[in-house]
Structure 1
């Protein structure tokens, strides 16, 4: 990947925003159904919390599979084809969602269509995924990698911050099928916008490595990031059921607090990775995330739970870009697209495993155990980040 142009900082920011807008559209579409589907499957269709969690997580199977193809497309043909396919997939998923809601009086049929909907949604996320990051870097330069990853994260979690509470509001006021209509309209807009953007491709002549070879290199950082993402996955997927279990109102506030503090963390501390390095930044962030999950676990009232969710979001805000910057350093320039796709697989696996894992914990032990479980996983991630940092310090000392 090489710089396409050299521009002043404000223009670089606007250029990156213009491309990560695709991520925002994609994650609004994902977020719209995220908080309402578990309730719909559990309460209206009559299936267990485990089934609800599995259906939600099925999306990440196809996301996982499509990341590899998307990364190869980006490295060989550029990001535009990948983003276009992704937006077309989201459009189809919106139509399928509408059909699933129409058959809610036939639970098994509705569930089957929802499964197909989630799989197609996964295709959309897999192809959009990290492609806007690469598109932005092709249009600017590699020196803006941390900024592009960070802005893309703001777009993704900002999309969920908008989509998840909006989905709950629409479901309660208009009806759940209206969510499918909005997803379809948003995705069509994204498709048309993608078609209008200039296409860029990498010009590096470096020999490309195979996907599995790249995946092996980035996987330690990806696993660490994925474990850190279990806190987010637990909040986004199960907070509505958790509030219902505790007979609390205002689960949407938790989703909004998490996402707003996540975005605030990205904006306020945007230079932390460049200043302190990815590993030290990730250690601090994961430590803050554990504090937030601890508060959520012990919160006796919903207002304190909102505080915990917000602190969790602040803590997780820089984990993905901090570890991502370290991961992409390990591969040649010609494999940046594949590296970002491979690294992003682990957030897909994290969110994909959250449903069955946390749903299983909820079914076996009760919903009051979901946050202790998430906290334990984030503590493992924190331990891994400390090990990575100590190894890096030792290698630097040895090189002197």
Structure 2
């Protein structure tokens, strides 16, 4: 593939993910506010509503990986886009007037579960499809573009979601979230299928794959704690402190994330993922400490920016290492398992942080993120630096 075609393919990938992931980004800071302020339920249930979508993602990762590897990676991510749309419409029904809080919460949870399945199918399918089309030597770039588009969406999606919620209510956020995935479907509708890899060799079981990549998985899981607590509670934290610019905090996180991917996206392919992940975790941990201890909103905003800068490169850095460790015909399944570790952080961090907020304060949620970052640093430091050149990636 020529450099022009490669750049066009990566740009299309990034733009499509940016559009479709608005379904997730616009809803993320709004869901916990809706649960606590409109349904009048406790913070831990607000966190649970945020995190439950990732439970569905965890449970569906194996199926999504097998579907992409054995059937069709394109159909896998297209189905994911349709799940995004369905999830938003179900969540919108939770805002029906006259409904009891318990029923509304149950409907909301159902929609969030559908969203989790959609995210699993969309991300695993897109990764597998692009690995096959562009080749494993581009894995670092593919992962960087994917994450930059996904989390860069929060620079726009978070504030847009909060603004829509403030002026037009929860239903307007969900309606918008149901529309944007349609554009992604249109963009890839005529794209070619990719023939799945065939092999006569025995495949590793899903559990064996997890055993192979567990350290890389734990690194992204611990990184995900900081992002999860920031996304779920920074708005409530700023409101509780009487600080302005809660939406700016989400934007700064997204901006930091995108800047890091633009400047350092090629580094994992060049110098190895371990070095990149280690530095990134240090930066994220400093950001979480500033959010935890900030006496003024300006330091908290800097902490949000540093969290984004640090979070950004850990997933692609560890993903490049995973690519080197698995065969081509199991990349989709391996990445399903690899991403599952991050999903675990997203599923359980927000509810745990909600309990901390109920018992102590909103600032304690960022202490949780700080501790996770420290543990992540220890795990990554224990990894053996892989000195193979970047072109040694399995073909």
Query: TM-score, normalised to structure 2's length?
Result: 0.94
Q: Residue 69 of structure 1: CA displacement?
A: 0.9
| Runs (5+) with no aligned partner, structure 1 | 1-6, 394-400
Label 1:363 to 1:148 Cα distance change in 2 as closer, same or farther (>3 A). Answer: same
- Cα deviation digits, residues 74-122 of structure 1 (max 9, x gap): 1112311111211111111121122111246521221111011101111
Aligned to 2:31: 37
Aligned to 1:267: 262
After superposition, where does 1:229-378 map in structure 2 within 5 Å? 229-378=224-373
1:175 pairs with 2:175: no
Contact 2:220-2:314 within 8 A present in 1 as well = yes
Q: Residue 391 of structure 1: CA displacement?
A: 9.0
Q: Residue 222 of structure 1: CA displacement?
A: 0.6
Contact 2:27-2:177 within 8 A present in 1 as well = no
Aligned counterparts of 1:140 and 1:368: Cα–Cα separation in 2 = 44
Aligned counterparts of 1:62 and 1:390: Cα–Cα separation in 2 = 34
After superposition, where does 1:200-219 map in structure 2 within 5 Å? 200-205=194-199, 207=201, 208-219=203-214
1:11 pairs with 2:15: no
Aligned counterparts of 1:97 and 1:125: Cα–Cα separation in 2 = 15
- Cα deviation digits, residues 248-306 of structure 1 (max 9, x gap): 12111110001101110000112221232100111111111111112222221112211
Query: TM-score, normalised to structure 1's length?
Result: 0.92
Q: Residue 22 of structure 1: CA displacement?
A: 4.0
After superposition, where does 1:17-56 map in structure 2 within 5 Å? 17-56=11-50
Contact 1:278-1:322 within 8 A present in 2 as well = yes
Aligned counterparts of 1:357 and 1:98: Cα–Cα separation in 2 = 26
| Runs (5+) with no aligned partner, structure 2 | 389-395
Q: Residue 49 of structure 1: CA displacement?
A: 0.2
Give the length in aligned residue pairs.
387
Aligned counterparts of 1:148 and 1:65: Cα–Cα separation in 2 = 24
Aligned-residue RMSD, C-alpha = 1.8
Aligned to 1:110: 104
Q: Residue 202 of structure 1: CA displacement?
A: 3.2
Given candidates 69, 74, 81, the residue that maps to 1:80 is 74
- Cα deviation digits, residues 106-140 of structure 1 (max 9, x gap): 21221111011101111111111232122122222
- Cα deviation digits, residues 7-61 of structure 1 (max 9, x gap): 2223212212323444323321011111111111001111000111112111111
